[in-house]
Structure 1
């Protein structure tokens, strides 16, 4: 025996890395998407799923038992704008519904390379306008997302603000990818600690998303460089081992400088979007409870009783 004790996060990393190592230059985007769904896809827990079409954008209402329908969280999944789906993020959205006590609308926005920027942003904004048209007020709605989806949350908020539409009550950002130029110091300082996301891969995903639009510093592509004035309160969660750590820490600094309330939680020894592993990581369960408390507070909801 080697004497090495594998921690829960090490087991998660090994499972993710096995999939990443199976990909090569000949691996198609379709295969990557299937592998991603198989890796993360889970129907764990009990949640009601209702398909919808929101202004031409496919989506799903996901409701944990007892979830209220007079509040809504719009969710944009991660995956570098190229992989990820409502299937891969079903468990995470169901957990957020359970923790917050309200419905989650998973938005099936279009992906690159078939649909490059700004297709995903158009879909996200269309879905938000659709929810408003269903009779919910902006202060009864929150946005949430992880990785590229968290960056899309910010781009949507900026677009909504600039269109003079009412802004949602709050937003949750998990491991947000806010800088598609990958210029933060953590891309170097966390390179050895992050077992999954390295700068060359991140820049390749950015190029694939951008296509002929080559300005990665555009505020709607890399919202880290945007004027964040007027945005609603933000909850930012990130793992200390992530190469995209700077995308979160710098975002929090810039948001606060712009007068935005931004709560930053840096989770020790955690990896990219660790919240996707609630059955394996106690930190994921704790982070989801923190997300639920944040959403309940900003959506003016009472704490959920243990009997619900």
Structure 2
């Protein structure tokens, strides 16, 4: 859409636990490409995002639109993605949608997009929400800052004073 309207692209995009494929039927709606990890998560319960909730939301979100096409499911973008701004993807290694997110990154990279994926060890869906008590989630925020630019002087001063130090809990 941005290309067809000749709008300028942003310098980059940050995707945090993106849900990239809402296709599928019944209890598997929204879980296509999620792989065996989604099945493991059903029994292990590590992620707070549950497969039955994913299926319910997928059906509501896609409505009457075709689930296996853009804009509902970016996984199915057609044509070359060369020239897109760099995309940085953060996801939890223990989240239900991990397999789908990794498949999306591989698919878009294969179409020419510049995708950098970063799985957070021990992270669940949207791991950066837990940066206050989960060291690896906090660390990925530093990495995001490095990718998208230096922090402001105020943020740097706060870090020097220990205000943004990695948590020691959990």
- TM-score range relative to shorter protein: 0.7 to 0.9
User: What RMSD, in angstroms, separates the aligned Cα atoms of the two structures?
Assistant: 2.0
Q: CA separation in 2, counterparts of 1:241 and 1:219?
A: 27
Counterparts of 1:195 and 1:170 in 2: how far apart (Å)? 28
TM-score (norm: length of structure 2): 0.75
Once the two structures are superposed, what CA deviation does each residue of 1:235-267 show, in whole Å capped at 9, x if it has no partner?
Answer: 111111111002211111112111211111111
* Alignment counterpart, residue 176 of structure 1, candidates 6, 15, 18: 18
Tell me the distance in 2 between the aligned counterparts of 1:208 and 1:220: 14
- Listed as ranges, the gaps of 5+ residues in structure 2 are 24-30, 159-170
Structure with greater contact order relative to length (CA < 8 Å, sep ≥ 6): 2
Shift in CA distance, 286/236, structure 1 to aligned 2, threshold 3 Å: same
In the alignment, what sits opposite 1:208? 60
Q: Report the CA distance shift for 1:168/1:285 in structure 2 as closer, same or farther (over 3 A).
A: same
Q: Decide whether the 8 Å contact of 2:81 with 2:112 is kept in 1.
A: yes
SS at match of 2:107: helix
Query: Number of residues paired by the alignment?
Result: 144
1:275 is displaced (CA, Å) by 0.5
State the alpha-carbon separation in 1 of the partners of residues 56 and 40 from structure 2. 20
Measured in 1, the distance between the counterparts of 2:98 and 2:47 equals: 14
Q: Distance in 2 between matches of 1:166 and 1:222?
A: 23
Matched, 1:238 2:91: yes
- Is 1:293 aligned with 2:142? no
Deviation at 1:173, TM superposition (A): 0.8
